Amino acid sequence: MSPRAVTFLHRAHTFFAELEKDTFPNANSLAEQCDCSRNTAQRTIYRLRDEFSAPIEYDPSRKGYYLTDRTYKLKETLPPGKDELTSLLLARDLVNSLDATDITDALDRLWAQYAANNPAVSRDLLPLIDRFSSSLTTIGRLADEGILHYLTAAARGDNVEITYSSPWRGTEGKKYRGRIMHVHFSDGALYLKFWDMTGRDIILNASFVSSCEILNESLDYKSPSYAPGQPSIDNWLEGFGVWASENVEEVEISIAPPASKYFAKQMWHEDQTDTWETGDVLIRKMPAIISPELVRRVLSLGRHVVGLGPDGLREKVRDEVRVMGRL
């Protein structure tokens, strides 16, 4: 069993121990107990419910989960779930392009082993392979975007000069000098956690980096927020959370049905909180800055947005709507 699978199993048993004690555990409490992100903890809960059919339900009044069947016991070991089997199934097809029979044979043996442990899921997935093909993988695209260059510079602690040209923040390229501390892939975009020589921690979207040059000179860093080579990523968030390093505000979006039921299943931010109003209106709150990405997400909700705050976000959305109205 892989370390990742062992970690999932540990989180699963930790969660069930709290369920049996009627403490109404949730993603926040599980993340704290297992020293993982809230997103990872929430996914653990969803996998237990959806992939392994664990009898759990969420109680909004207690803000936690409970067992609907007190006789249910979690097994000491769990078979590979749908995520692992789907990834392995698609990998078997992708690896054919390598013309490497040793890798193909190894994957086939691994598939047979996993499939035997979870025959129901594997039986459902196997017929799907004939309907799948791929000419471009995410990893391949990330390679084209220079991810190895960023990671190598980060791992070596190189001083770099980045030219950054965001279309949302002016047309002139801006130069940053400092070090790349962490590389993060989220919501289809590559982000760089950057320690600027002025002492700031900033987040850069790699899509807007026009150049990244290694500097053969020392830099005079001012007021570092953490020791070089030891980046603090405790608050590294998903989606809109990657912008949480500056001007954070409490964002509140009210979403009407039927869109509310769809977006209730999505994680926009590790620290989001969801509540419901009468009529199945979803109230989503999260800390974030008023970024162009957030404005575009609100616009994508269209008529289903029935409430929005703070005022700064509401005004930016209205400005975009007014401009679009001229079309």
Over 90: is that where the pLDDT of 161 sits? Answer: yes
Residue 162, in any domain of the structure: yes
Classify each residue of 114-132 as buried b or exposed e, where b means 16 or more C-beta atoms within 10 Å of its C-beta. bbeebeebbeebeeeeeee
CATH number for position 284 = 3.30.70
Distance CA 104, CA 98 (A): 9
Residue 75, in any domain of the structure: no
Q: Are residues 222 and 147 located together in one domain of the fold?
A: yes
Q: Are residues 228 and 253 located together in one domain of the fold?
A: no
Residue 240, in any domain of the structure: no
Burial class (CB in 10 A: 0-12, 13-18, 19+), 196: middle
Q: Are residues 88 and 53 located together in one domain of the fold?
A: no
Q: Are residues 156 and 108 located together in one domain of the fold?
A: no
Q: What is the pLDDT of residue 288?
A: 80
Q: Are residues 222 and 253 located together in one domain of the fold?
A: no
What is the sign of the dihedral through the CA atoms of 40, 42, 44 and 50?
A: negative
H runs (alpha helix) in the chain = 3-20, 27-34, 38-50, 82-94, 101-117, 119-125, 138-144, 147-156, 259-263, 292-301, 311-324
Distance CA 269, CA 45 (A): 17
Q: Are residues 182 and 227 located together in one domain of the fold?
A: yes
Distance CA 28, CA 40 (A): 10
Over 80: is that where the pLDDT of 178 sits? Answer: yes
CATH number for position 42 = 1.10.10.10
Write the CB contacts of 119 (distance below 8 Å, at least 6 apart in sequence): none
Classify each residue of 246-271 as buried b or exposed e, where b means 16 or more C-beta atoms within 10 Å of its C-beta. eeeeebebbbbeebbeebeeebbbbb
Domain end call among 233, 262, 294: 233
Residue 54, in any domain of the structure: yes
Q: Give the chain's mean pLDDT.
A: 80
Domain end call among 233, 258, 286: 233
Q: Are residues 220 and 266 located together in one domain of the fold?
A: no
Question: What is the domain extent for residue 307?
Answer: 249-324
Q: Are residues 315 and 290 located together in one domain of the fold?
A: yes
Quick one: DSSP state of residue 242? G
Residue 244, in any domain of the structure: no
Mean pLDDT for the stretch of residues 26-44 = 85
Q: What is the pLDDT of residue 112?
A: 83
Residue 57, in any domain of the structure: yes
Over 50: is that where the pLDDT of 160 sits? Answer: yes
Mean pLDDT for the stretch of residues 151-166 = 89
Residue 136, in any domain of the structure: no
- pLDDT tier for residue 72 given thresholds of 50, 70 and 90: confident
Q: Are residues 208 and 281 located together in one domain of the fold?
A: no
Over 70: is that where the pLDDT of 137 sits? Answer: no
Number of domains in the chain: 4
CATH number for position 203 = 2.30.30.520
Q: Are residues 37 and 94 located together in one domain of the fold?
A: no
Q: Are residues 198 and 229 located together in one domain of the fold?
A: yes
Q: Are residues 62 and 87 located together in one domain of the fold?
A: no
Domain end call among 131, 152, 168: 131
Using DSSP's 3-state secondary structure scheme, residue 211 falls into strand
Q: Which residue has the tokens 């008529």?
A: 303
CA distances from 301 to 263, 309, 316 (A): 10, 15, 15
Residue 280, in any domain of the structure: yes
Contact 84, 5 (CB under 8 A): yes
